[in-house]
Structure formats: C-alpha cells, structure tokens
Amino acid sequence: MTEIKGHIDPIRRPGELGIHSVDHFHFVVPNLKDAQNFYSEFGLEVSERKNRLALGTRGSPHVWGFVGEGPRKKHQHVSFGAFEDDIESFAARLQDMRIPRLDPPTDIDSNGLWFRDHDGNLVEIAVKPKTSPNEKSVFTQISAGPGERGAPLRSAMRRTYPRRLAHVLMFTTDVTKAVEFYTRVLGLRLSDHSGDGIAFLHGIHGSDHHMIAFARSNAPGLHHFSWDVGSVDEIGAGAMHMLGKGYDRGWGLGRHVLGSNLFHYVRDPWGSYSEYSADIDYVPADCDWTCGDHHPEDSFYAWGPNVPADFVHNYEA
C-alpha cells in the first residue's frame, strides 16, 4: 500500500548561496559567576570550557553561545553555519567584494572564514551542521474539555528548559547598511522592517522569521538572545522562576507583530536580555516571504505591558 505522507519542508534552497544558521554567539562580561547563575536559572545548560562558559540546551550537544570574561559586557563575534559545498563560494564572494579575510582570534581554534561587518563586528562563516529548524517549531496549547481542569497545579509546575537558540538581536549604527551587508555577503533575506529603525532577517534554507535582527543605536552591541520554548505556560513558568531568583526586571508577556512570537524578556545582569519565545513565524526553504516596511506602531508588539524605559538602551555604547 502506498503511504501518503504530509508535506515535508525542503532543507535547502537550490542554486543560491546563503548561510543556513546562526551557529553561535560570543560575548564577554565582567563576572562569569553572574553569567553562570543567570543562564542556569534561565534554563540553559551551562558548562565550563577553558576560560569561558558554553551555553547549551537540554537534550542537544550544540553550543549556542560562549561567554568569556572582559572588563565590561561586550559583543565579540557571531559565527554562522554554512553547508560544506558552499564554503569555497563564500571565500570567493569575500574576495570579489574586497572584504579582507582575517585570522581567527588567537584563543579560538577555527578554520572558518573571518571578516568584519559594516560596523566592524567580527563575523565567522564556518562549515557546521544546520541548527536552524527545518520546519515550524511545535507550539502546544492544551485547552481542557468540558468537565476537565485545564491549568497545572502551581505546586506541580515544571521549570522551563528552552529547546534551542531562536535568534540574536544586535544594535547597529546603520540598519540599512546592516541589511545590505548581511543579505549580500551572508545571503540572508529581509523578512520585515520598520524604515531604518529595525530589520529582521531569515535564512534562505528554511529558518524562523528571523535568525538575526538589527535595531538602530549609536554603537554596535548585543540587545538580546532569544530562546525557543513550546508553550505559553513555559514562557510563564520561566518568567516566574526568574522572578523568584531575583531577576525581576524584564518585559512580557506579550506578542510581537513582526515574527508573531509570544515573548517574555528577562533582563540580564548587564542590561541586555534573554527572551523566552514561542510560536514564531517560519519561512520554509521554498517560500518567498513577502517583506513589508511597517509603521513603527505596527512593528514592535501587538499587545503586552508598557515597554520598560531603558528596554532599547545600548549598554555597550
């Protein structure tokens, strides 16, 4: 008997050059103990690797981020994953565009392609497994039937453990230049933007609505890391757990417009954020997403509490 299967999203857009994933981020903070505590309580797997912390998620061997020690919180680099048979084409593209190749930082073992972006940020493209999702991530909302209880008992609430890194939002001095650089050099695509204030980019080989986004500031910097969870209850449980541990500043619960994800942001010890995110829009490899330029009012959130006064302050500036 012929088995009828549902639609399976392709994991590669043929004939086009583009990175497939944000492989990991790297930044430094003044005190690794603070980072260890914050990210462990947030629900990440934190381990020590030489002189830095590696941030993972339960059930995955992947390292989504590294935290080193430095005089103040500062972005170091983002590493993007590419398919093996694309890496020579990326090297040729860098050469054609006269973007100088750099050696990796002295304390990082890498055979990737290193260069600087429009803001002077260090960027790596390296051959890595595709860690961006190949289909829309599962979102669960259980609604009790008649005669049944829907809510979990408070005493039985479980902790929240994010499934994966969802995206990184960076500050940039020039959003238009950021979009130009990351689309032309890395092969990302613009999903949506609001003038030259904020822009969201997705990968061409199937990814969330955004794997990286840029917001205008007077200096480069990291605004937030977003971590995917599977339900509103997980967002709420994560936020409550962090509140109980003293991480009482943040923003949420709300729903974004661009990307559509439900969110709660928890402020980290350095004034940036980690986001619990659920049900973000997905752009399959064979989908040409219709990009829009949205009025600022329609670009930030559909509903949620008032935005904290310093939510978009760049503490790296």
Task: Name the site residues for Fe ion (rule: CB under 5 A).
Answer: 226, 275
Give me the least distance between CB of 164 and Fe ion, in Å please: 14
Least spacing, CB of residue 223 vs Fe ion, in Å: 8
> CB-based contacts of 262: which residues, under 8 Å, 6+ apart?
232, 235, 253, 254, 255, 256, 277, 278, 279
Q: Which is nearer to Fe ion, 12 or 255 (CB)?
A: 255
DSSP state letters, 28-84: EES-HHHHHHHHHHHT-EEEEETTEEEEE-TT-----EEEEE-SS-EEEEEEEEE-G
Q: How far apart are the C-alpha atoms of 84 and 87, rounded to whole Å?
A: 6
Q: How far is the CB of 168 from Fe ion (least distance, A)?
A: 9
CA distance 192 to 172: 16
| ∠ Cα 273 230 255 (to 5°) | 55
Return the number of the residue (275 or 316) whose C-beta is nearest Fe ion: 275
Which residue, judged by CB position, is nearest to Fe ion in the bound state? 226
Q: Please, which residue, 30 or 292, has the CB nearer to Fe ion? A: 292
For 251, other C-beta atoms within 10 Å of its C-beta total 20
Q: Please identify, using beta-carbon distances, which residue of 207 and 226 lies nearer to Fe ion.
A: 226
CB of 184 to Fe ion, least distance (A): 24
CB of 62 to Fe ion, least distance (A): 19
How many CA atoms, within 13 angstroms, populate the side-chain half-sphere of residue 145? 0
CB nearer Fe ion, residue 66 or residue 225: 225
